[in-house]
Structure 1
């Protein structure tokens, strides 16, 4: 009987203690805005994140843009000589607009400025 009473008191004491406080909710993610630069790895609900292709072969840069969902691509000769980029693999991207990490609507145009490897 005494053992049952002691067990009952311990059980009552365990049940009467307040529950531990709930952990605070995680902070709400910031809404990405088109044209805003976001932290890599975050989701951009209002557009796609533009990949950084500066330093890549022009053909590889185009492939990366298309893999990210961007198909409206413009290209320019970065030397100002207005040459056409015929053999994409002979060129390297030296500048892009908008820059990598920017959230952009996939219907917008991305400009890749490249120069020949021999320039």
Structure 2
């Protein structure tokens, strides 16, 4: 009897088209832009040295974090510090409208300092 019920059951499947993401990343444009900027650099050895130095610093920092992580009670204390800091950040910058506006203004100011442009993006 159960075999008959299972045999009669049908499955309805509906095919949908692939949804496009909200933002498409243009890799060709990125590569050409990076190539232009690399060709425009005058002091390429300095850039390579800074990049290699950053990788060494990242490697050393990873070692330090793993050593600190092996000390008893320190990982839990760091988690507590992170939780308290996150709660403070939400209270200070995200909870109230005026502080959110202040945070956005600070971010825009930082973007202008980094990019050197005074235009908006």
Q: Same fold (TM over 0.5)?
A: no
* Shorter-chain TM-score range: under 0.3
Greater strand share, structure number: 1
TM-score (ref. length: structure 2) = 0.24
Higher Cα Rg: structure 1 or 2? 1
Q: Which has more helix, going by share of residues?
A: 2
Higher relative contact order (CA 8 A, sep 6+): 1
TM-score relative to the length of structure 1? 0.24
